Amino acid sequence: MTDLLGSGLLSVAAFVAVISFVVVIHELGHYLAGRYFGVHAEVFSIGFGPTLASWHDRKGTLWRIAGLPLGGYVRFLGDADAVSARDQATLERLKAARADADKVFHFKPVWQRAIIVLAGPVANFLLAIILFAAVGMARGEATIEPLIGEITAESPAEAAGFQSGDLLLTIDGQRARTFTDLSQAVMTRAGQPMRFTVERDGAELTLHATPRREMRADGLGGTRAFGFLGVGLSSEAQIIQRRFGPVEALGHGVTQTGRVLVTIVDYLARLVTFQASLEHINGPLGIATTAGQVANIAVADPGAGEGSSYDLSVALMRLATNLVLLAGLLSVAIGLMNLLPIPVLDGGHLVYYAYEAVAKHPPSPSVQSLGLKAGLALILGLMVVATWNDLNYLAGLFS
């Protein structure tokens, strides 16, 4: 039913749906916090580019649906653009006339502005919790005992002394809950020494291994560079399938969101200390590719047994679950990325507000302008790296 990337139409639709939903929720966080503090939102745009449909609400906000449905933005009174740069001419006019000054974002106390800015990433984290909780209720979670099976010959695991039957206890001091924890921990640590604690014959042993870089299948039809340790899952490992009630599911959502956050923060920390590779950074093209892959895999493999007829309802359920999980992961990533202290991002605004709170005045316009240019340059550089990685991955798909 699908080729390597599957139906192009389904791929595009999946990407647009996921990225638009996550970004719009982010902007809604800003909007609702601003509205709570009396800030007037001039425009709330779903998408970019030419307007397809628009209307004004009773507060005077223009809501618009644009032709390029890739995210969106909210523009408050006094903003010059979608990244909340100050519109100096408008601000000076409003300040002189004292008209609607209480509705201007930039005239609000610094703590209110900080909350409004922080509300976007918080909305993303809350969304992720809800999405992971929903999947926990619908599908549950499989806990796979971290019991080591086959050891690959001449692998880092063999050199470190791993043996079949070892029960993995900790990874770099962190408790190993499931076998998945091992694969996730090793994934981005090629060339990095790691410490493992295992239980063998009732005794605890500490093993040291350095995963090596290998191009391996990613489960989505392509290959990526992963850290390779060389251990397999034991056929005797216990697998516990658990479903969650509403309250438990909420806790599960919080836990899953926290795990994703820790994973991303750990990678970023190792990245800035030159202990991790840039090849794991992906951009919009990579997100679009992944969205299409998970969507088409769900539709192409509905889970029916061999010889069984195609079950559309099962396929649609798998599709919805896969996209919800992807949206949850992406929501955590977008929320966290926006908290980075880069001037063009929410985190950069928070740095400025922290300075203002201490110095009792905002940074000078020249400093803010310089910071904006530096932030844009950094973001552009990261986008170049991400796009290069995405194109290399696509080249591998079609080779």
Q: How far apart are CA 288 and CA 352, in angstroms?
A: 33
CB 133 within 8 Å of CB 250: yes
SS3 content of the chain, % helix, strand, coil (to 5): 50, 20, 25
Question: What tokens appear for 247 in the block?
Answer: 């309250």
Per the document, the length of the chain is 399
Q: Is 154 a catalytic residue?
A: no
The catalytic position among 27, 154, 158, 248 is: 27
Task: Name the nearest CA neighbour of 140 among 149, 148, 132.
Answer: 132
CB 166 within 8 Å of CB 148: yes
| Residue 378 backbone dihedrals phi, psi, to 5 degrees | -65, -45
Those residues whose C-beta lies under 8 Å from the C-beta of residue 67, and which sit 6 or more positions away, are 47, 48, 49, 50, 51, 52
Q: Tokens at residue 231, please?
A: 């251990």
Q: State the burial class of residue 84 (Cβ atoms within 10 Å of its Cβ: 0-12, 13-18, 19+).
A: buried
Residues marked active site are found at: 27
